[in-house]
């Protein structure tokens, strides 16, 4: 197998496992890295090296390397490094990556969640001037869940997925290369378009907050989308979505509505609102269960998606009362200052910039 077929995947959760199995089944040599202490299941998986995908995609793949040593993950991999970890793990994983960054690498963050800004900031702070291309996607390629130590259930593969590069100028080259690996990527203008187009900030917080008691009592069986998004809650979701779109416009990017994103990902139909779509035949959400009141739908999406949206809105003078309400309510319910501990514009390295300076910086 030549060097162009070797990929390192950093992250052994739902998305990392799904991508690893998918790419290994297509003939790529895949090294996968796990940053946390290995469990008994992980050690079993490490020994067997096989991932099984079930559901919308049925295949299996034999991995080249499963490791908790990031140096080993990078060893013999070519220039494609896929970072597939939650937003709260970006900085710790980037810190471990820094010594291994080299000229010519393409680093893809799935999903991005402003990760390219953080990685560029960290490289600058450490004096790393390697010539690398950093890419972000707006979401994971699959709606999926790990259902056994070596099995991932794919509820549905996304048909198209936005991708951008930082800097913008390398977008076409990176897009062509990544579409040879997985032909689903379409161009986005910059990291703001990709990160603000992560629909989780719209689809997750309010349905959870507005169903808080029901989820507390039925966390193992509650279906976030099917049970949690009622017609009235769908209306709230769409009002939050308009705030998100308005923030994007202030920074020169045209965002897709959440409804249009769902149709792009999972299939076009005649639905005219979010409620109808998540209950339609094209929805991947009927079997997704098991979110609790302290799930990542709050603990990740509020600090890492809603906080930057709120702060970008304030800097641009855009009204975002529902985003601000979700941040306030989540913080009060969990007794956590999510804004203080979240992904602030300072963390992104752009807090001292004006709106116009931020737009220029992204180019």
pLDDT of 356 reads 96
* Strand 133-137 relative to strand 50-55, pairing: unpaired
What's the predicted TM-score (pTM) here? 0.92
- Tell me what pLDDT residue 45 has: 95
List the beta bridge partners of residue 161.
185
More reliable by pLDDT, 4 or 49 = 49
Q: Region 8-15: what's the mean pLDDT?
A: 95
Whether pLDDT at 290 is above 90: no
Q: State the Cα–Cα distance between residues 279 and 282, nearest whole angstrom.
A: 8
The residue-averaged pLDDT of 232-260 equals 98
Checking if the pLDDT of 138 tops 90, the result is: yes
Domains and CATH numbers, the chain: 3-189 (3.40.50.720), 200-361 (1.10.1040.10)
CA dihedral 63, 194, 165, 74 (to 10 degrees): -20
pLDDT tens column, 269-281? 999 999 999 999 9
Identify whether the C-beta of residue 34 lies closer than 8 Å to the C-beta of residue 67. yes
Backbone angles phi, psi at 24, to 5 degrees: -65, -40
Of 99, 70, 98, 54, nearest to 12 by C-alpha is 70
**C-alpha distance across the termini of the chain, in Å:** 36
Phi, psi of 259 (to 5 degrees): -60, -45
Residue 2 is predicted with a pLDDT of 41
User: Which are the contacts of 144, defined by CB distance < 8 A and separation ≥ 6?
Assistant: 14, 15, 18, 55, 152, 153, 154, 155
Buried b (16+ CB within 10 A) or exposed e, 13-32: bbbbbbbbbbbbbeebbbbb
Residues 6+ apart with CB under 8 A from 357: none
DSSP state of 355: H
Residue 207 banded pLDDT, cuts 50, 70, 90: very high
Residue 4 predicted with pLDDT over 60: no
Mean pLDDT over 110-114 rounds to: 95
Q: Read off the tokens for 48.
A: 């067997």
- Which helix or strand (DSSP H or E) is residue 157 part of? strand 151-157
**What's the confidence (pLDDT) of residue 38?**
83
Q: Mean pLDDT over all residues of the chain?
A: 94
Give the H or E element holding residue 146: strand 142-148
- Mean pLDDT confidence for 46-61: 96
Mean pLDDT of 95-120: 94
């Amino acid at each position: 197998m030549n060097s162009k077929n070797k990929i390192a995947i950093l992250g052994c959760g739902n998305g990392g496992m799904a991508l690893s199995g998918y790419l290994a089944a297509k003939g790529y040599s895949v090294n996968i890295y796990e940053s946390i202490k290995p469990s008994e299941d992980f050690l079993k998986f490490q020994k067997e090296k096989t991932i099984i995908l079930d559901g919308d995609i049925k295949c299996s793949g034999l991995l080249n390397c499963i490791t908790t040593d990031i140096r080993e993950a990078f060893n013999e991999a070519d220039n494609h490094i896929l970072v597939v970890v939650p937003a709260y793990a970006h900085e710790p994983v980037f810190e471990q990556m820094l010594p291994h960054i080299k000229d010519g690498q393409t680093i893809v963050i799935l999903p991005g969640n402003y990760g390219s800004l953080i990685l560029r900031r960290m490289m600058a702070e450490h004096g790393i001037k390697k010539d690398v291309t950093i890419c972000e996607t707006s979401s994971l390629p699959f709606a999926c869940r790990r259902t056994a130590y070596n099995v991932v259930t794919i509820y549905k593969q996304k048909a198209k997925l936005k991708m951008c590069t930082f800097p913008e100028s390398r977008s076409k080259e990176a897009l062509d290369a990544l579409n040879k690996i997985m032909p689903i990527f379409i161009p986005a203008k910059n990291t703001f378009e990709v990160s603000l187009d992560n629909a989780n900030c719209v689809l997750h917080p309010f349905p959870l907050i507005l169903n808080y008691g029901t989820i507390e009592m039925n966390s193992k069986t509650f279906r976030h989308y099917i049970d949690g998004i009622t017609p009235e809650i769908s209306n709230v979701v769409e009002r939050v979505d308009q705030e998100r779109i308005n923030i994007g416009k202030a920074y020169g990017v045209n965002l897709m509505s959440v409804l249009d994103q769902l149709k792009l990902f999972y299939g076009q139909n005649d639905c005219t609102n979010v409620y109808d779509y998540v209950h339609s035949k094209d929805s991947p959400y009927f079997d997704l269960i098991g979110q609790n009141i302290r799930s990542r739908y709050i603990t990740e999406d509020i600090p890492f998606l809603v906080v930057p949206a709120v702060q970008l809105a304030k800097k641009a003078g855009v009204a975002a009362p529902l985003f601000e309400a979700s941040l306030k309510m989540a913080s009060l319910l969990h007794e956590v200052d999510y804004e203080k501990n979240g992904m602030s514009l300072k963390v992104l390295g752009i807090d001292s910039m004006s709106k116009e300076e931020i737009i220029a910086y992204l180019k």
